[in-house]
Amino acid sequence: MAPPVRPGQTTPRVAIIGTGFGGLGMAARLRQAGIDTFTVFEKADSVGGTWRDNSYPGAACDVPSHLYSLSFVPNPAWTRKFPTQPEIRRYLDSIPARTGITDHIRLGAEVKAMHYDDDTKTWHLTVTDLHNGTQTTETFDAVVAATGQLNRPHIPALDGLDTFEGPVFHSARWDHDVDLTGRHVGVVGIGASAIQFVPAIAEAAASLTLFQRSANYVAPKADAPLSARARRLLHVDAFRKAYRFSIWARFEARFMALRDGSVLNKMGQNLFDKGLAKAVGPKLTREMVVPDYTLGCKRILIANDWYPTLMRPDVEVVCGGVERIEPDAVVVDGVAHPVDTLVFGTGFESTGFLMPMTVTGRHGIDLHQSWADGAEAHHGITVSGFPNLFVLYGPNTNLGHNSIIFMLERQITYALTCIRSLVGDRRPLDVRPGAQAASNRRVQRDLGRTVWATSCHSWYKTATGRITNNWSGTTLDYWRRTWRPRWSDFDRV
């Protein structure tokens, strides 16, 4: 942890954008370090990020509760092995008061643009107050962008979508005013979210038609309420830490299964192939349940109610891409499937990092233009030409095997050390282009050994063939590379 600020030292003014795990964690760590000169901007009216927005029925996390929380804001009160969305949201809601950052948070405040001023070496943020529409320009020494990878829902531009006559919404903007009782619901996109909300709405809906482009690998979920005894034990610091470590270590081992051709990948593939073959029968064809890609290409999902839901007589799986939408139907391969409600579980615009903000760095360079061939940052955190800008859950920091909270904590600690180095009016830090290029060459090289590069559809790649979302190794490897900033990687500008 960075040493506390000494009395009389000038601390940098820090803007944090977003109040998910990253933004709240960053604010809490700044305050712990004695840096109180920060403001947290949040465009919504409450904190919580993706766990506020994803309130769909059945929403839950596939990482165990005790690993899915900030290590420096522990939550001994988890009630289940795997947390549900309401429980995660309650935890996130509790963080501001517990860490003393409440007064630093500005709700309903959207950062539309940020511009680095070469003369004053500061960032000017254009902030819109969404409550009254006023726009202000506010100045900071450093900016932490904690907007994440999953904040902008993706709805495909399907022909005829605007002609559909019934309710239409995305899983991350669930319309709780629409009563699904007795409705004929079409679900487009069957991924991590759909396998949770489809079983949860199946009982109420009159029928469900699932429009699935690719099948998923779905494993059983070893979920259960934590017993009263376990919960008592988990109030003991040492026990809780050991339990957290054991979950992390178990999940860490799963990275080996993401290496193409590895023994673990082949073993896992065999296990799934045998299990999935059992699900194939008169109701479910092979195409409906057996993925046509290598294990690990898409997130391996966990659920106990997925295959039983698919077996229901009122649930139909339609394989293939959606051709067009009609006022009362979805057309696939020339066949119109009647539905009166459409739900999209089609994921997020996850490669558009920091969108839709305009970000202008040194000498007027535009961040999104410099990322036109795919986003990249040094360790996913700093970007050359954008001094004192720190990105959390940035390019190449997503995981397929372990908890993203671990990665966020590494990024928070790294950014905190950099920000701490600015105390006393030190000049801004700009990562050297050579350091950024070298770390990204290594990431892309290492990604080349994973299933994402070798055996998957083009999902994970940009038009130029780069992978910009996923980290290339274990979380331990990320920890080793980010345990402290290497000052020779930076210029003081």
Asked whether the beta carbons of 12 and 142 are under 8 A apart, the reply is yes
Residue 127 vs 194, nearer CB to ligand NAP: 194
Residue (61 or 365) nearer to ligand NAP, CB: 61
Residue closer to ligand NAP, measured from CB, 186 or 191 = 191
The residue among 28 and 399 lying less far from ligand NAP, judged by its C-beta, is 399
Phi-psi region of 380 (alpha: psi -120 to 50; beta: other; left: phi over 0): left
**CA-closest candidate to residue 150, choices 216, 61, 265:** 61
Please say which residue, 174 or 386, places its beta carbon nearer to ligand NAP. 174
Q: Which of 322, 325, 342, 367 binds ligand NAP (CB under 6 A)?
A: 322
Q: Least distance from C-beta 194 to ligand NAP, angstroms?
A: 6
Q: Which of residues 450-489 bind ligand NAP (CB under 6 A)?
A: 459
Peptide linkage before 387 cis (omega within 30 of 0):
no
Q: Note whether 422 and 397 are within 8 A (CB).
A: no
* Cα 381 → chain centroid: 15
Strand order in the sheet with 142-145: 105-107, 38-42, 14-17, 142-145, 389-391
The smaller minimum CB distance to ligand NAP, of residues 64 and 361, is found at 64
Q: Which stretch binds ligand NAP (CB under 6 A): 185-193, 241-249, 330-338, 365-373?
A: 185-193
Rank residues 30 and 88 by Cβ distance to ligand NAP and give the closer one.
88
> Phi-psi region for residue 442, left (φ > 0), alpha (ψ -120 to 50) or beta?
alpha
193 binds ligand NAP (CB under 6 A): yes
- Among residues 447, 456, 449, the alpha carbon closest in space to that of 374 is found at 447
**Among residue numbers 63 through 82, which ones bind ligand NAP (CB under 6 A)?**
63
Of 37-45, 87-95, 192-200, 424-432: span binding ligand NAP (CB under 6 A): 192-200
* Of residues 117 and 292, the one with the C-beta less far from ligand NAP: 292
Cβ at position 299, least distance to ligand NAP in Å: 5
Q: Which stretch binds ligand NAP (CB under 6 A): 4-12, 275-283, 331-339, 342-350?
A: 342-350
Q: At closest approach, how far in Å is the CB of 321 from ligand NAP?
A: 6
Q: At what angle do helices 404-420 and 21-32 cross, to 10 degrees?
A: 40
The least CB distance from residue 274 to ligand NAP, in Å, is 23
- Of residues 239 through 298, those in contact with ligand NAP by CB under 6 A are 298
Using CB under 6 A as the binding rule, whether residue 402 contacts ligand NAP is answered as no
Please report how close the Cβ of residue 211 comes to ligand NAP at its closest, in angstroms: 6
Q: For residues 363 and 197, is the Cβ–Cβ distance under 8 A? A: no
- With CB under 6 A as the contact rule, which of the stretches 117-125, 190-198, 460-468, 471-479 interacts with ligand NAP? 190-198
Q: Which residue is nearest to ligand NAP (CB)?
A: 191
Q: Which of 189, 199, 385, 473 binds ligand NAP (CB under 6 A)?
A: 189
Closer of 123 and 353 to ligand NAP (Cβ): 353
Site string for ligand NAP, 206-225 (x = CB under 6 A): -------xx-----------
Q: Pairing between strand 142-145 and 389-391?
A: parallel
- The angle, 0 to 180 degrees and rounded to 10, between the axes of the packed helices 85-99 and 21-32 is 20
How many residues interact with ligand NAP (rule CB under 6 A)? 24
Angle between helix axes 475-482 and 237-253 (nearest 10 degrees) is 110
Segment contacting ligand NAP by CB under 6 A, of 24-32, 200-208, 266-274, 346-354:
346-354
Rounded Cα distance, 46 and 24, in Å = 12
C-alpha dist (Å) from residue 362 to 442, 489, 493: 26, 17, 10
Residue 190 lies near ligand NAP (rule: CB under 6 A):
yes
Q: In terms of CB distance, is 156 or 308 closer to ligand NAP?
A: 156
CB of 55: closest distance to ligand NAP in angstroms? Answer: 12
Residues near ligand NAP (CB under 6 A) are: 61-63, 150, 156, 171, 188-194, 213-214, 298-299, 321-322, 345-348, 459
